[in-house]
Structure 1
């Protein structure tokens, strides 16, 4: 679909975002998402969600899911998400996500879902054995966003396709039912640090699923672990150039420069200028100092929060109540538009 009839209704500037509680929150999560979420709190009404319903599209041990949901919430808070300023909750506590997702299952088209590349990547060769939830989870993602009529979503490059689907669903619903129910949600895309790559392979995204612990810096790593992983990070023998464009073809070098730039709120070019001509032995020492300085307070706060599960549960419960208060009237209007009684 194309945006031929954009909605003219004015919607409140509202951000929605979330991450799966799959354990081992890492530097990529922090630089690619959490840190940006914190900044957005100053200019938007923000709703941040631990998307535990998305997590079960693949098998999860129930006890692990409980612990990982709390860990994810602790990571959000430790990174700077303020549960008093923003709304923080876990997805399954607000039933409207599932209700709207079903309606969107009936609005979305098979052809649209067949074009979603992430399903192909995640299902791999075992596509016939993948859960139907994994196939339709982009519709649930659309429901997550539109249940709150969110106008903006911070996304990485790998999520842009799903946001385009969300816009298609919003527009089709509006057109099919003759209403201006949903906004055509806009992406917020970061510059530096939006896509952090593996420390062992600069062509692969940093991931909690990578079997090598040395591929990522976890948010619960202590200073010694951070230093060791940066020291072992793959690089090349060439010195740093004056400009970042000259790192083309050197993915591991570009990644480390990008991490330094993101942690210090600078551009890659300014980092290259500072370290021009130096080898990576020197640069890694500087990167270690910055990483430990930025991440150690987060690690400490995460550990404190995880040790207080009742507190985390209370924060999530209160956030769910606030989220439900926003979602309920929107879902009521959606049901009325569809033709549901009650």
Structure 2
């Protein structure tokens, strides 16, 4: 037993999966603004109305997440009754988007909060559970909504607050991945679990700077633990650092001797046309890395464009309470390596 554990652990933070789970199917659902961006052709469902026919933005977000999960299960020609676990989370207090989606699915459920890192957090835990032999099918999912997050973390929408140039736009989107034991699909090889990093950033309007150190720490430790480097990946994607955070991360990683310039993107920077769509420094939110990973990255892996991908969702572990009390903004980032023969 102890030898088996040692054979899987690599360094301090990384696990090598001995039975790599396959990503059997994915679904990405986005709002109208995201559907008007440069990645629109990669999303499965683009809503024409960001309320999704519901009475509130919170209900709309939950309905998006539920639909993404059901669509993913249906694509795999399975039923909710065949899914062993659902790992899901969102940004809202008490995880109401995920909890209310799960109440209609009758799937054993773990609710997760990792802020905007939740997609790779859910995917990491799902993959570890699969590799441990505890399930045949697991769904990992997450969601966010501009309007629900805006009025929880910032200001009422009616206030019409002005955004500074460093601010980011919370993505309205939901992403879902279904893991299975077998199949000719992209598979998960390494999980690098992040540590909470805090460099004293207190400006909630500059989330990229707050999260960048955590992303850098996780990426560097992934390289050290696995012996890999940027040259081993066709794409390395951070979650939602946006333009500002991506530049900080790229420069910091260079100080460690790694040059990721040729393969590095940030999901928050890619999802919008920032000047035309007035999204300032880019996208953010749980749904940001979720829909880019489930859409753009996964579909390009199926096409053979990407053979090896490293996805690092990044989260700012703040709350309205901590910000009002003058606390700084800790960051977290989790990395998942996905490969396709």
User: Per the shorter chain, which TM-score range?
Assistant: under 0.3
Q: From the CA coordinates, give the structure whose radius of gyration is larger.
A: 1
Normalising by structure 1, report the TM-score.
0.27
Structure with bigger strand share is: 2
For normalisation by structure 2, the TM-score amounts to 0.28
